[in-house]
Structure 1
């Protein structure tokens, strides 16, 4: 009988040692997983910060290109107002030695269309002064309210538009 109890005691000791080894391995694995997660998190933060810095640099470069393109197109528009868009593109290509992109042509076309639309709305106000305020285009409403001395927040509230939208309209008007 003592041999049987001794045998069971040895089996229980082996099982408990095996259990302790398994728990130790799981604990180590958990610690390694935690360290790996911290490393991955740190790598992701570094990657995002490098992407943000790269995007910032690209945005600044893009802004500089757009500003130089705006400057060139404004010079070209003032010199060559009667030229067609195709002639304007070829003149700029020959003059500056650069290839002008489709978006630049479309932007110039949009600016001319906007200017013609604004001049048309200015002329209709002179011809027909009894036009109702709510029938005017949004841009004209914003500019009239700004001339009255309202702030951007007040204009946005009165026209039920966003503050950012009103700011952009006013900034776009200033650029023209």
Structure 2
């Protein structure tokens, strides 16, 4: 009997040692992950501070340039090139006069046929009718002074459902 108990004891001790080793490995992995996350967070913070410093330096340089120009905070106008009127003439000359005359003929034919004045948009046969939701009809009837029981009878709902809907509406508004 004693050898069996010793065997079971050694077996349990072995299983516990394996479990302790596995758990210690998991703990060490989580500690490594935490260190990595802290390092990444520190790197991100450093990059943000570097960007902020760059932006501040650029702002100071811009303010110095504005003061040198004598604008003193007035609007800075961008230097634009004047519009070239000759480019517009080149575009117009590329369109042939035949195309323009052809377009005018088609417009005249269109107006002679009565195309523009005889057009009537299609009218939908069925008109969409508005059906309010149950919640909105409950609230409307309650605001009109109808009791909860009468609302429940008219809408085929339970009184507790009506009361809950009114309670939710009063909390929302």
User: Do they superpose with TM above 0.5?
Assistant: no
Q: Which has the higher contact order (CA 8 A, sep 6+)?
A: 1
Length-normalised TM-score, structure 2: 0.39
Higher-Rg member (1/2): 2
Length-normalised TM-score, structure 1: 0.38
Greater fraction of residues in helix: 1
